[in-house]
Structures are given as C-alpha cells and as structure tokens.
A and B are shown apart, each in its own frame.
Chain A
C-alpha cells in the first residue's frame, strides 16, 4: 500500500528557506508515468498545486512559485524534497506530498505537514 510521509521543520523564520521531505513507501518514484509533488493549503485559502518531479527527473513548477522553488528526487532513498526560499507569512500552510498520475491527477496524498512562517 502506498504511503507518503512528510517531514521537516514546523516553524520557519521570514526570509529563510522552507525545506520538506516526502518519504515514499509502497511504490517507486521511478515507476514509469508517475509524478510526485506537493500541494499546499494556506489557512482560509484555496488548495494550491506547488510543483512535481516526474519518474524521469523532470520538474514542473507553479509559475507563481517558480523563482523560489526547487523540487528534487532522491532515487536511492525513494524520497522527494521541497525547498522554498525567501518565505513570508503567506507561505504558512499545510504542505501535502502527493502522487500524480499525469495531468495533475492526484490519487494519493500524504497526511500533511503544517509549516508556520513566523519570527
């Protein structure tokens, strides 16, 4: 059974870098046709697709975050990671790791990790 587990600091200071890791079990992130990415849910706002990395290492980013965002895949550990630089309070959200079957077809979600940006 596929499981996605987010981990990382729950509190980040403004202007610093938000870093999260998603450990994937029950499936390989190199499985053909699969995409692995991140969605966030700021309090009181809409869910927002952040970006993803495909089975072959190609990355796809939301244009609104592209200048601050890096998503990487570690095939040896079967993990993906998210780095978001120069964070502000607007980046406070629950961050979900997710499997995407293509065309943003998210069929599996992690439990989510709350990240608060505050000094």
Chain B
C-alpha cells in the first residue's frame, strides 16, 4: 500500500504569516490516465473534514485563494499565504491514485 507522510506534524504560526505543509508518497501518484489524485482536507476541532484542494492544485468552491496546492510525482505542498484564525485545525493529504486510498498523518496548525 502507498504510505503518505506529512511534515511538520505540528505547525505553530503567527496570524498573517505564511504556512507550508509537505506531503510525500511512497510511490508516484501519477495515474495511468495522466491525472494525479492528491487532495488536501482541513478538519476543525469537532468537525468533519472539508476538502480544500483536489487533484493537487484545484481549489474547491468557497475556499479562500490564500490556499494553494502544488507538486508532482511523490512530493506535494499545501501553502497558506497569510494564516487567519479560522485556519486552525488539522490538515490531511490523501492519495487516490492507488488502491486503497490513503491519508497522511495530519498536520496540526495552531496560532502562536
């Protein structure tokens, strides 16, 4: 099975500052159809996860443009250009290229 690894696991950030989360896969996530099925999710405390980014870099409707995703092959990044208070919580990457789908361990973002 594909293993997804995230870094850092804990991310203290000052309001208004940028933040970056890395996600690595144990195998290339390029599917035979040419797509890369790598999503990012945000889970606030006490809530269910919410999809932010799909297929590496596509923002979901309603997601602020301060969130951006990038990457290729096995290395992926979620960036927040200016952290706001509502961004606290856990962020997860998830690969869907290989079966079964798999999540990263999660990165917990907190405000300093």
Contacts and interface: CB of A to CB of B under 8 A. Distances in A.
Tell me if chain B binds chain A: yes
Interface of A: 46-49, 60, 62-64, 96, 103-107, 109-112
B100 to A, nearest CB: 5
Main secondary structure of the interface of B (DSSP, over half): loop
Contact of B104 (A46, A64, A103, A112): A46
B102 A49 contact: yes
A49 B51 CA distance: 15
B103 A49 contact: yes
B48 A105 contact: no
Nearest to B55: A105
Given A49-B100, A49-B103, A110-B48, 14 more contacts: A46-B105, A47-B49, A47-B106, A49-B102, A96-B49, A103-B96, A103-B97, A104-B96, A105-B96, A106-B39, A106-B51, A107-B51, A109-B48, A111-B48
> Taking each of A47, A49, A112, which has the highest tally of chain B beta carbons within 10 Å of its own beta carbon?
A47
Given A47-B92, A110-B48, A111-B48, A105 B37 contact: yes
Main secondary structure of the interface of A (DSSP, over half): loop
A105 B105 CA distance: 18
For chain B, which range describes its interface: under 10, 10 to 19, 20 to 34, or 35 or more residues?
A: 20 to 34
A109 B92 CA distance: 14
A104 B101 CA distance: 6
Contacts of A112: 48
17 contacts: A47-B94, A47-B103, A49-B101, A49-B102, A60-B99, A96-B48, A96-B49, A103-B31, A103-B37, A103-B96, A104-B37, A104-B100, A105-B37, A105-B39, A107-B54, A109-B50, A110-B48
The 6 nearest A-B residue pairs measured at CB: A104-B101, A104-B96, A109-B48, A47-B103, A103-B96, A103-B37
